Homo-oligomer: A and B are copies of this chain.
Amino acid sequence: MLISDLGERGLLQLIQSYCLPNTIGDDGAIVHPPEGCELVVTTDVLVDGVHFSDRTTTAFDVGWRSVAANLSDLAAMGATPLGITVGLSLPPTLSVVWLEQLYQGMQACLERYGTGIIGGDLTRSSVATVAITALGAVKADRIIARSTAQIGDAIVVTGYHGDSHGGLKLLLAAELGQTDFTAQQQALITAHQRPQPRLDVLPIIDRLRATSQTLTISGMDSSDGLADAIVQICQASGVGAVLNRSTMPISPALSQIFPETALDSALYGGEDFELVLSMPEPVALELVKNIGNGAAIIGKIGRSSDIVLIDDLTGDSTIYLNRQSGFQHF
């Protein structure tokens, strides 16, 4: 059954079943912002053929990833989600099953993080496009901004980087005929297909704040790559950074499967949806211990505006990081 067979009314009914109760049916949805909180709003657009393709991503995964990308932006601001709106443009020749699986994927990710769909729009287009806006709430003194990194801060990542890029490479190889994957390979593929926005880190940070008054945490998410995140934080804060090769957050799986390219994937692969944060070292040590699994201190904020990766393993020459090597849309 195609979307054009179902008709507009049928489509809206189908979509409504995936929305939070009592939110749909008016020109806008009502949100109750918690008292004393700032509201955070973020928008991400995913386009068929650019951000996903039938070759590497099921409809369920498109839904999951589009929600995860938006929730990750909220986490990067220190905000917990209040709901999302979904602006969907679809070719009439798409199957209803695809649409249902898309919403099932969105809902699965939303439910895991205790939130849901509160509104949206549905239009015809020749290209499937998912435009999501997520709303979140954060207390004013807990906002995580890019521009407040301090000289001497430790730089923390909440998990491994590059796995998503490695997973994508395996999926593209699968296209060429590979069908059996080891558990290790499958872990990379899952990292690509079901990224986990790090909203779970926020309550841990909150507990650390309780013991450390006037704590400033700077940061963003690593959706466009680890190097991009560090460069952006440094530029916004007017500082530099020194990273160490030995502490690069590369998973055992990635370094075993792609030993030659693991560092490049970690720095420039993107779509890991981890948080890259800067904070005083004692807090950083405590945070990394509490998060575990892949979380690490990878360097320090420095006075010089250079952002360098020192190879403390082999003594190879220092790499100067930049954003150019990352994914460019245009």
Most chain B C-beta atoms within 10 Å of own C-beta, residue among A3, A43, A83, A125: A43
**Are A92 and B220 touching (Cβ within 8 A)?**
no
**Are B45 and A131 touching (Cβ within 8 A)?**
yes
Most chain B C-beta atoms within 10 Å of own C-beta, residue among A40, A131, A134, A135: A131
Interface residue? A25 (CB, 8 A): yes
Q: How far, in angstroms, from A86 to B41 measured CA to CA in the complex? A: 11
- Known contacts A26-B220, A39-B39, A129-B129; A121/B77 CB under 8 A: no
Which residues on the B side are within 8 Å of A303 (C-beta)?
Answer: none
**Are B30 and A123 touching (Cβ within 8 A)?**
no
Interface residue? A126 (CB, 8 A): yes
Q: How far, in angstroms, from A27 to B89 measured CA to CA in the complex? A: 24
Q: Mark A61-101, 1 if CB is under 8 A from B, else 0.
A: 00000000000111011010001011111001000000000
Interface residue? A206 (CB, 8 A): no
**Are B42 and A28 touching (Cβ within 8 A)?**
yes
Q: How far, in angstroms, from A3 to B134 measured CA to CA in the complex? A: 27
Q: How far, in angstroms, from A145 to B328 measured CA to CA in the complex? A: 43
Which residues on the B side are within 8 Å of A72 (C-beta)?
Answer: 27
A27 to chain B, nearest CB (A): 4
Q: Give A10-69 interface residues, CB cut-off 8 Å to B.
A: 11, 25-33, 38-47, 49-51
Contact of A39 (CB < 8 Å), options: B31, B143, B330: B31
Which residues on the B side are within 8 Å of A50 (C-beta)?
Answer: 123-125
**Are B27 and A73 touching (Cβ within 8 A)?**
yes
Interface residue? A329 (CB, 8 A): yes
Interface residue? A147 (CB, 8 A): yes
Q: How far, in angstroms, from A219 to B46 measured CA to CA in the complex? A: 33
Q: Mark A167-186, 1 if CB is under 8 A from B, else 0.
A: 00000000000000000000
Q: Mark A97-131, 1 if CB is under 8 A from B, else 0.
A: 00000000000000000000011111111110101
A-side residues, CB < 8 A to B, are 3-4, 6-8, 11, 25-33, 38-47, 49-51, 72-74, 76-77, 79, 83, 85-89, 92, 118-127, 129, 131, 133-136, 143, 145-147, 220-221, 236, 328-330
